[in-house]
Amino acid sequence: MRVKPALRVLAVLLALALVLAGCGGGDDEKSEPKADPSPTVPTGNVEVADGVTITEPGTELDFGAAATVAYEPNPRRGSVLSLAVSSVRQGRISDFAAYQVDAATKKSRPYYVRGVVKNVGPGDMSRVGVPLYAVSNSDTLIQPSTFNNTFTRCPSKPLPAGFVEGKSTAVCLVYLIPNGGTLTEVSYRPLQAYSPITWSGAIQPPVVVKKKAKSKRQQRN
């Protein structure tokens, strides 16, 4: 009985990704708008301590490198976060065999993005979603999927409770790229006019599932 709500969550988030993919207009709007790096680093109302250097917009990083950003998900919440994308592995849609996925989801290609988030500012970021997006080969931003039960292969959850200054956590985020597309990079882009910070590198292939060898009795049958 508890599984059905989780299945609906998976389908809804993929549908949202498809909406994002269709936001463009004519031929001149097929690609995600490219903004020039801001002349000043955006910090909003977030307090940035002396000695903390915010990563410049437009910075391109390799997997394993960290960026420091002033993130303000809403006017009441904000802090300085250190974000690092450690690795990206392609999954298989069969990984979701326990879920009753819809036709659109079956055509998607899953990716598992692992990283580390640390709160280096004064704000409490408990239960805030990790502000990282997948960028597809069609130049579309895809938000991470979430589950209301545990997807053990890659939990894909918001930041934990009590995520205050000095706390850090390892994360694994699930991205479903529509229509069999591919993930090209991971992006931090809190605003449309903000030139994104991106991570790229070698993407690991799906895990090979070895079939169990048949017993002698099974072979005789």
The confidence score (pLDDT) of residue 220 equals 63
Question: ∠ CA 78-145-108 to the nearest 5 degrees?
Answer: 145
Side-chain half-sphere CA neighbours of 22 within 13 A: 8
Strand, coil or helix: what is 14? Answer: helix
pLDDT tier for residue 212 given thresholds of 50, 70 and 90: low
pLDDT per position as a tens digit, 89-107: 999 999 988 877 888 889 9
pLDDT per position as a tens digit, 58-71: 999 999 999 999 99
pLDDT per position as a tens digit, 108-131: 999 999 999 999 999 999 999 999
Is the model more confident about 13 or about 176? 176
The structural domains of the chain, ordered by start, are 3-206 (2.60.40.1240)
Report how far apart the first and last C-alpha atoms of the chain are (Å, whole number): 38
For residues 156-178, average pLDDT: 97
pLDDT tier for residue 208 given thresholds of 50, 70 and 90: confident
